Amino acid sequence: MSLKSTLPTARHLIIAVPWFWLALFFLLPFLFVLKISLSEPVLAQPPYFDLIREIEDGFVTIVLNFSNYQLLLEDSLYFKALLGSLKIAGISTLCCLLIGYPMAYAIARSPAHWRLPLLMLIILPFWTSFLIRIYAWIGILKGNGLLNGVLLWLGIIDSPLEILHTPVAVYIGVVYNYLPFVVLPLYATLIRLDTTLLEAAADLGCRPWKQFMLITLPLSLPGVFAGAMLVFIPVMGEFVIPDLLGGPDTLMLGKLMWTEFFSNKDWPLASSLAALLLVALIVPFVLLRHFERRAEEAAT
Amino acid sequence: MNTLLKKFKHLLPALLLTGAAASSADELHVYNWSDYIAEDTLAGFEQQTGIKVIYDVYDANEIMEAKLLAGRSGYDLIFPTARPFAERHIKAGLYQPLDKSQLSGLDNLDPVLMNSLASIDAGNAHLIPYMWGSSGIGYNVTKVREILGDDMPTDTWRLLFDPEIVAKLADCGVTLMDDPTEVLVAANIYRGAAADDFSRDSIKAASATVSAVRPHVRYFHSSQYINDLANGDTCVAHGYSGDVLQARDRAAEADNGVEIAYVVPAEGALVWTDVMAIPADAPNPAAAHRFINYLLQPDVIAPITDYVAYANANLAATALVDAEIRNNPGIYPPAETRAKLLVTPTPSERQIRDLNRSWTRVKTGQ
């Protein structure tokens, strides 16, 4: 090995920056969480035993406690919560895509001078605090709220719909809040789409619907997956929306983690749940990378 | 981890410095429940002492406890509920003993409350009672009468735990607190079992009582019911005395025709006490003592009771409290009602986890 290849170059440094970022803000905190997940709860400050205990000067002992993970695997409650989170994240992601794709498509196909105002309309709600927007939905959905008032006034329903504190309210809140995360990457993909491909297909007699299925949709898949991940991953750990809009039967990992951490003061079990959630999230992320690579290879 | 932390300190001295700079000698960091002090209390203290108060609020004991357990919270004075929170914090050594020579108003405190606190805090060394109240039933008088008729007594847990009655009230809206100790102990009182029995069998039976009415319960929440009762969105709520009375006042202010009442169920109900304590690692305990002493003055604490609608622990202040509040049996209960109030029992750490996990199952219907 020559000396030259071992010296850091500018290129290495540029690559090192995001890795350093990841290590500092992702790997390091995760190792803390992992460490706590392998300890035992105790009524003290902090409320868990340190893994590494000094017996006598110089001699240390490391005690790993796997019982938290054992409890997570044995008690069906945690598996059900994982399924609950997967279900809410999955359905919300699907709804976001079904609503967000036509929106992104329409914006990308609209006249150039319309695109910026339309994008602004997508981004504008972010100028209001997330919490206030969720509280606004409580006002809209509640028993004697805005939506029921309008529907009753129009004579569409006779008695108020019970939406607040049901799973439907959670879906509405999640889809509303995460929709921009689908629209923006989809728009970015669709706007770069080479329209000459569509013209060529039209010249060869391909119908618009088939053009979309054969050309636009496959080429926009990276945007679809990017958008889907941006919704799916945060919704898996979502706590605020189900807590405010959901009912008592909304069982999600985020809420369970809250209970373990705050009510039970069981930081180790809460950390084990967090580690489990991370594993549940890495799988779809790896899938995304896989599809992205395939798309890149197809493009070259 | 410790060596890593040391490296962090070298890496990020600026960050840590801003944290340290926040606590200087003439500043007092208070961490209290939201809406739990009168509007001019802090201004009065600052004027009297020249100490600047930095006042943060929480809406659940658990949030405050998590900060305390994490260490170096930076707070000089906190307001935990005595049982089980302050009780276990004393056991874990998280509080510093009070210097009673700095507190002149101690004689004003209710001896009944002080004796009760002495059972978790030997010699009343760490805790000074602040406010106390009960948890019972708040209900919409007109609607409940309409549904249940005039003969049905309302001062009973049957309103919340008898499946037949709760089913009738379900459309109108029945809510329970999101608190396993409060609800499961209330369920035990309802079914005539010992309130302080936290054995697995007892928890299971109490859970079954709650599960039986769960389909008719609109939600489990410990503060949401204030607004919903006041707006007429719900009819019956398991709630804290002062919160229900707040709902009653809000409805009266809005003049929306909703009439709310609070009752202590005849079967018995839980009583709680919120206390003041100084964390062991408080940066400015001297200022914390001065603040406690300020709150011990009858003319300071009486207006707070007027504002928050909870009884204070200061007997000398009762005469100064607004007559409407002083004579309200929901706030200052007469002796026979007070006799029905049980001190919130404290489960062991193991039992707390049993309670909470059982609770998650009950709530989610698993």
Report chain A's mean pLDDT, rounded to a whole number.
87
Q: Which among B63, B217, B353 is the nearest to A262, CB-wise?
A: B63
Say whether A43 and B353 touch across the interface (CB within 8 A): no
Please name which of B132, B135, B141, B84 lies closest in space to residue B268, comparing C-alpha atoms.
Answer: B135
Residues of A in contact with B352 (CB under 8 A): 263-265
Give Cα A300 distance to the centre of its chain. 30
Say whether A45 and B220 touch across the interface (CB within 8 A): no
B336 is in an annotated binding site: no
Residues of A in contact with B70 (CB under 8 A): 45-46
Q: Which among B353, B356, B364 is the nearest to A248, CB-wise?
A: B364
Write the DSSP string, chain A.
--HHHHS--HHHHHHHHHHHHHIIIIIHHHHHHHHHHTS-B-SSSSSB--SEEEEETTEEEE----HHHHHHHH-HHHHHHHHHHHHHHHHHHHHHHHHHHHHHHHHHHS-HHHHHHHHHHHHGGGGS-HHHHHHHHHHHHSTTSHHHHHHHHHTS-SS----TTSHHHHHHHHHHHHHHHHHHHHHHHHHTS-HHHHHHHHHTT--HHHHIIIIIHHHTHHHHHHHHHHHHHHHHT--HHHHHH--TT---HHHHHHIIIIIS--HHHHHHHHHHHHHHHHHHHHHHHHHHHHHHHHH-
B39 is in an annotated binding site: no
B18 is in an annotated binding site: no
Residues of A in contact with B173 (CB under 8 A): 143
Q: How many residues are present in chain B?
A: 366
Say whether B353 and A264 touch across the interface (CB within 8 A): yes
Question: Is B160 in contact with B166 (CB distance < 8 Å)?
Answer: yes
CB contact residues (below 8 A), chain B span 171-230, against chain A: 173, 180, 214, 217-220
Q: How close, in Å, is residue B215 to chain A by CA atoms?
A: 10
Say whether A43 and B349 touch across the interface (CB within 8 A): yes
B154-181 b/e (C-beta count within 10 Å ≥ 16 → b): bbbbbbbbbeebbebbbebbbbbbbbbb
Domains and CATH numbers, chain A: 69-299 (1.10.3720.10)
Residues of B in contact with A76 (CB under 8 A): 366
- Per-residue pLDDT band for A90 (boundaries 50, 70, 90) equals very high
Say whether B69 and A143 touch across the interface (CB within 8 A): no
B56 three-class SS = strand
Helix orientation angle between A76-109 and A221-236, rounded to the nearest 10 degrees: 140
Say whether B352 and A264 touch across the interface (CB within 8 A): yes
Say whether A262 and B360 touch across the interface (CB within 8 A): no
End-to-end CA distance of chain A: 32
Paired sense of beta strands B236-240 and B174-176, if any: parallel
Domains and CATH numbers, chain B: 27-133+272-332 (3.40.190.10), 134-270+345-364 (3.40.190.10)
Averaged pLDDT, A140-158 = 89
Secondary structure letter of residue B312 according to DSSP: E
Say whether A45 and B1 touch across the interface (CB within 8 A): no
CB contact residues (below 8 A), chain B span 85-104, against chain A: 88, 91-94
Which residues, at least 6 apart from B72, have a Cβ–Cβ distance to it below 8 Å?
B281
Question: Is B262 in contact with B153 (CB distance < 8 Å)?
Answer: no
Say whether B364 and A261 touch across the interface (CB within 8 A): no
Q: Which among A247, A262, A265 is the nearest to B219, CB-wise?
A: A247
Question: Is B283 in contact with B29 (CB distance < 8 Å)?
Answer: yes
pLDDT, one tens digit per residue, over A109-140 is: 999 999 999 999 999 988 999 999 999 999 99
Q: Is B70 on the interface with A (CB under 8 A)?
A: yes
Least confident among A42-46, A78-82, B190-194: A42-46
Ordered per-residue pLDDT tens for chain B, 366 residues: 344 444 444 444 334 334 444 446 789 999 999 889 999 999 999 999 999 999 999 988 889 999 999 888 999 999 999 988 999 999 999 999 999 999 998 999 999 899 999 999 999 999 999 999 999 999 999 999 999 998 899 999 999 999 999 999 999 999 999 888 899 999 999 999 998 889 999 999 999 999 999 999 988 888 889 989 999 989 999 999 988 998 998 999 999 899 999 999 999 999 999 999 999 999 999 999 999 999 999 999 999 999 988 999 999 999 999 998 999 888 899 888 888 898 888 888 788 888 888 898 898 887
CB contact residues (below 8 A), chain B span 251-310, against chain A: none
Q: How close, in Å, is residue A217 to chain B by CA atoms?
A: 40
**Interface-testing mutation among A265, A266, A267, with chain B (most B C-beta atoms within 10 A):** A265
Percentage above 90 pLDDT, chain A? 40
Residue of chain B with shortest Cα separation from A35:
B1
* ipTM of the shown complex: 0.73
Q: Can you give the pLDDT at residue A6?
A: 57
B349 is in an annotated binding site: no
Say whether B94 and A45 touch across the interface (CB within 8 A): yes
Q: Can you give the pLDDT at residue A5?
A: 54
At residue B361, φ and ψ (nearest 5 deg) are -65, -45
pTM value is 0.78
- Per-residue pLDDT band for A65 (boundaries 50, 70, 90) equals confident
Q: How close, in Å, is residue A247 to chain B by CA atoms?
A: 6
Say whether A32 and B1 touch across the interface (CB within 8 A): yes
Residue of chain B with shortest Cα separation from A71:
B357
pLDDT, one tens digit per residue, over B39-72 is: 999 999 999 999 999 999 998 888 999 999 988 8
Secondary structure element (H or E) that encloses residue B140, with its range? strand B128-140
Chain A residues with CB within 8 Å of chain B CB: 32, 35, 41, 43-47, 50, 52, 75-77, 80, 142-144, 165, 247-251, 256, 259-266
Better-scored residue on pLDDT, A260 or B25 = A260
Q: Can you give the pLDDT at residue A247?
A: 77
Q: Is B74 on the interface with A (CB under 8 A)?
A: no
Which residues, at least 6 apart from A193, have a Cβ–Cβ distance to it below 8 Å?
A108, A216, A219, A220
Say whether B92 and A44 touch across the interface (CB within 8 A): yes
